[in-house]
Amino acid sequence: MKSHNISIDILKFFAALLITNSHMELLYGKYSMLATGGSIGDVLFFFASGFTLFLGRMGRFDNWYKRRINRIYPTIFAWATLSSFVLGYQNDMKYTVIHGGGWFVTCIMMYYIILWIIRRIAENKLEWAFAVASAVVLVSYFFFNRPQGWNMYGATYYKWMHYFLFMLLGAIIGKMPKQRLNFSFSHDLAKLLLCVVAFYAVFIASLRIQYVAQFQIVSLLPLLGVTFYSYKVCNSRQLKRCYDNRYIGWCMKFIGGLCLEIYIVQYSLFTDAMNRIFPLNILIMFLIIFAAAYLLRCVSRIFAQTFKDGEYDWREVFKVV
């Protein structure tokens, strides 16, 4: 086991903010173009998951996968219970198990299986695994039955394929000695911004120009750059000083630690009822989502402890960070 990497906490903090912001079209109103960043937030979270996944112990698959289930599914079942009693949702057990956490959870549970196999047979050849996965993504892109104007980051199963590259990238970087990365805040930040601009340039052009649309897959290259340089920037002394600040660091740890819960609760909370006070409504909605996510975390801990031996640990249930 390697020591705790706080840059991953910082990365998950930004991922949670970006993913949530991208779903706020309703709250932005006529400025809905500002509701963006979801693709970047998604890949940052997949990267962080791959990074940490290869640092833990392996063991037999059933026990290893059980630990993944124990981390995620108490939250899924807690949300199914809360949403049924509070919001009137009536989802059956099949839907809850498969779709209860949204596409994101279903996708990552499948990734876990593939990554266990890769770690078992090719842990020291992850670059080769990345090359093979890239070839599969590239070939499938041009043979996939894509309708006109198709968005590979939208509501399509194809993104389940190319997002896997970012989880693999996280595993590769997680096993790489830091000395090989040559951190430089100013240079890394400049490269990060350049990659962000390049990603949006390719992405927007592919949505507006029919000829460019067929080459939208090129946007994966700057998006990989965005992910890599985001990690490097999160390793900078400047951001780590923010993390060490009593108040800013608390916010980063609180929000980053609630990534899953924030993703699950947000869709049920969005409303345009506060749009008359824009942009204050955006801040208020973020605070509401964070509070609801924390409540869900507490309920999921109660749910998990209920089905284990031993007494309730209420300090653990209500622990904030």
pLDDT at position 97, please? Answer: 87
Q: Is residue 200 part of a domain?
A: yes
For residue 32, give the H/E element and its range.
Answer: none
Number of domains the chain contains: 1
Q: Evaluate whether 50 touches 175 at the Cβ level (below 8 Å).
A: no
For residue 262, being part of any structural domain is answered with yes
3-state secondary structure of 96: helix
List the Cα angle 145/151/152 in 5-degree steps: 70
Side chain identity at 263, as an amino acid letter? Y
Provide the residue range defining the domain that includes 305. 6-317
> HSE of 22 in the Cβ direction (CA atoms, 13 Å)?
17
DSSP label at residue 308: S
48 lies in some domain: yes
Give, in order, the Cα–Cα distances in Å from 213 to each of 34, 96, 144, 157.
22, 35, 14, 18
- Tokens 């640990």 — which residue? 313
Tell whether 300 is covered by a domain: yes
In a domain, 194, yes or no: yes
Query: Terminal CA-to-CA distance of the chain, rounded, Å?
Result: 22
pLDDT at 35: 95
pLDDT per 10-residue tile (average), the chain, 321 residues: 75 96 95 94 96 84 92 93 88 85 91 93 91 94 72 88 95 84 91 98 91 91 98 94 94 94 95 95 97 96 90 94 83
> Which one-letter DSSP state was computed for residue 176?
S
**C-alpha pair distances (Å), 85 with each of 79, 93, 103, 237:** 10, 15, 23, 46
Q: Is 242 exposed, middle or buried (0-12, 13-18, 19+ CB in 10 A)?
A: middle
- Compute the distance between CA of residue 321 and CA of residue 315 in angstroms, rounded to an integer: 12
Predicted pLDDT of residue 145:
66
- With respect to residue 1, please indicate whether it lies within any of the assigned structural domains: no
User: What tokens were used for 85?
Assistant: 């009693």
Residue at 12 is within a domain: yes
Give residue 95's pLDDT.
Answer: 86
Residue recorded with tokens 């805040």: 185
Within a domain: 59: yes
What pTM did the predictor assign? 0.93
